[in-house]
Amino acid sequence: MERMTDKKTRQLTLAALFAALTAVSTIMIQIPTPTKGYINLGDCLVNLSAWVLGPLYGAAAGGIGSAMADVITGYFIYAPATFVIKALMGVASYYVYKALSRHSKTMVSRIAAAGAAELVMTLGYMVYEAIIYHSPSIFITNIPGSIAQGIMGIIGSVAVYELLLKHIPGIAR
């Protein structure tokens, strides 16, 4: 039987690993958008963190890793919002998956969970950008980029989980 300290150490280690992987996947492939942002693979890791680690550690890993990527790539103004938005994405993804997986196939549940997370991302950045740019209309120009980011996040996270992570003993939930 696994002791509580061993379980906490394992979760903290995995959370640190997922935070680092989130930062790297966000930085590694960046497709610039015309509106100061970029499309990346970070959302894939935000969802995977939540599904593997649960709502607390998964949200922390996704939020910290994504905010670190903003700081490293010079998007300092977005880092605080990114931390909150990506953490909320992880929480949403975890709980939607948990609720739906009782009634439907796990892959369908993961697609819906990742979709819910991307909706959180879209709405979160819409509110943040309306505040910092003093205009909600700025987000309208970001809609195509948000849709592309969302599609990459959904496809990437579900594919990686289904093809890889669910086959690793002790990782899959």
Number of helices (H) and strands (E) in the chain: give both, helices first: 6, 2
First-to-last C-alpha distance (Å) of the chain: 18
The domain spans of the chain are: 4-167
CB distance 77 to 57 below 8 Å: no
Model pTM score: 0.91
Locate 27 and state its tokens: 């930085």
Amino acid at 83: F
Q: Does domain 4-167 have CATH number 1.10.10.10?
A: no
pLDDT in tens, the chain (173 residues): 567 788 899 999 999 999 999 999 999 988 887 766 778 999 999 999 999 999 999 999 999 999 999 999 999 999 999 999 999 999 999 999 999 998 887 899 999 999 999 999 999 998 898 899 887 677 677 778 888 889 999 999 999 999 988 888 777 66
The first and second tokens of residue 102, run together, are 């009782």
Cα atoms found within 13 Å of the Cα of residue 91, Cβ hemisphere only? 10
Q: Return d(Cα 137, Cα 135) in angstroms, integer.
A: 5
